[in-house]
Amino acid sequence: MTTTFFGAIADDFTGATDLAAMLARAGVPVTLRIGVPDKAEASTAFEVIALKIRTIPSDEAVAEARAALRWLTQKGARRIFWKYCSTFDSTARGNIGPVADALMSDLRTDQTVHCPAFPENGRRVFMGNLFVGEQLLHESPMKDHPLTPMRDANLMRLLTPQVQRQVGHVAFPTVRAGVAPVRDALSRVQGHIIVDSIEDADLHVVAEACQDMPLLCGGSAIAQPLPALWRETGVMSAPVDDPLPTPGPGRIVLSGSCSAMTRAQVGAYLKTAVGYRLDPLELAQGGLKEVRAWLAAQDPNADKIVFATAEPKSVLAAQEALGVARAGALVEDALAQLARDAVAQGIGQIVVAGGETSGAVTRALDVDRLRIGPEIAPGVPWCFAGNDVAVALKSGNFGTETFFADAFEMLSAGGAVAAQ
């Protein structure tokens, strides 16, 4: 029986696949769980548990995260990772801080670092401020996020109201000075510590300095250097994996994200694919009959997309008419049903855009475990649910404009299997 060494808890489904992709890139086989597994289920060396707790009440988020932690530690996990979005998606009542506090208490540690930086995707932390590309977080499109609008780029100010422990900072000059100065700085502070990083080399410094901590928090990029560091120090042996399966040929994109990048991706894909736009107001009045009939009439192997992706003004109008929760639920439920319909029609390749949508789709397909394949774009891998279905769960802002076409091209060329 394999003993788990590394266990991660992710606050949404696309974030979980993002982290799993980073670990797979580091050369270790990764199992992604949808929800907390049954106690009796066997574990693997690297486990990532995907929860849907980013925007639920904080006490519920804490309870789910603690349940995931119990399963991981019972399976032997010696390193725990609390994975949240590289854009620190959280309101003042959000769940990043409360979950981190709870995990620290359960692990009996007085210190953890927070490092959401993901330079490869344009997320950088400098002097405690989070940048998205060349923009401060609160000046980026994240300021208009429908669920977690980000109004401040300063991570210390964002985190402090959420936690009971003190919040500290290891600044960029210390990180750039190397591993020993970072360790020295960490030895003088406790609580939650924001660590600057603007390049991949900085992440390697932080990872090396923090590799023995029982709990790390942040985006996925900080995790990539860890497996190699653990192998070098002898605390972990190299696990082995089996070849990946080959999914069925049919394809579809299901997009619930309204991020700026997803809007561009939908527009690019519609130049060659047929599409159907979901409107929450129309769903509230007419239900799913029309879109389900549309999907049934399509060639399973043709390029097609069903999307609720819209400009912020349209999203706001639907939310004002229906309420934020109902507008979101109508879209999620619709795309979940369409995912079931697609699989029933023999479609084996499904790209899903949006964290909430990804959670709804995986639950609808009764997926509780995924094997991680190669990356389509940084942080977005193909995942395999059994032998017949492959899913790519894309965070809204990830990928280039041609992401959807690139994803299917990878599978049609055999790249997903060959990459392993």
**From 34-38, 111-115, 222-226, the region with the lowest mean pLDDT:** 34-38
The answer to whether residue 155 scores a pLDDT higher than 70 is yes
CATH 3.40.980.20 describes domain 250-418: yes
Mean pLDDT for the stretch of residues 30-39? 91
The answer to whether residue 222 scores a pLDDT higher than 80 is yes
- Buried b / exposed e over 115-150, threshold 16 CB at 10 Å, is bbbbbbbbbbbbebbbbbeeebbbebbbbbbbeeeb
Domain ranges (residues) in the chain: 6-233, 250-418
pLDDT tens column, 41-90? 888 899 999 998 988 899 999 999 999 999 999 999 999 999 998 888 87
pLDDT tens column, 322-379? 998 899 899 999 999 999 999 999 999 999 999 889 888 988 999 888 888 888 998 8
The answer to whether residue 413 scores a pLDDT higher than 80 is no
Q: Would the pTM count as exceeding 0.85?
A: no
- Helix, strand and coil in the chain, % to nearest 5: 45, 20, 35
Strand (E) or helix (H) holding 243:
none
Q: Give the relative orientation of helices 200-210 and 179-187 as an angle to the nearest 10 degrees.
A: 50
pLDDT tens column, 205-220? 999 999 999 999 999 9
Mean pLDDT for the stretch of residues 27-48? 89
8 A C-beta contact, residue 341 and residue 243: no
The residues, any chain, with a CB within 8 Å of residue 27's CB and separated by 6 or more, are: 227, 228, 238
The topology (CATH level 3) of 6-233 is: Rossmann fold (3.40.50)
What is the C-alpha to C-alpha distance for residues 284 and 261, in angstroms, rounded to an integer? 27
Give residue 246's pLDDT.
83
Q: What is the DSSP letter of 142?
A: G
What is the C-alpha to C-alpha distance for residues 411 and 349, in angstroms, rounded to an integer? 8
What percentage of the chain carries pLDDT values higher than 90?
A: 65
Give residue 418's pLDDT.
39
The answer to whether residue 417 scores a pLDDT higher than 50 is no
Q: Is the torsion defined by CA of 219, 224, 225, 226 positive or negative? A: positive
What percentage of the chain carries pLDDT values higher than 70?
A: 96
Q: For Cα atoms 310, 312, 314, give the angle at the middle one, nearest 5 degrees.
A: 60
Give residue 144's pLDDT.
78
How far apart, in Å, are the Cα atoms of 343 and each of 116, 134, 381?
Answer: 35, 41, 20
The answer to whether residue 199 scores a pLDDT higher than 80 is yes
> How confident is residue 420, by pLDDT bands cut at 50, 70 and 90?
very low
Cα dihedral 90/93/96/101 (nearest 10):
170
> Helix, strand, or coil here: 109?
coil
Mean pLDDT for the stretch of residues 240-266? 87
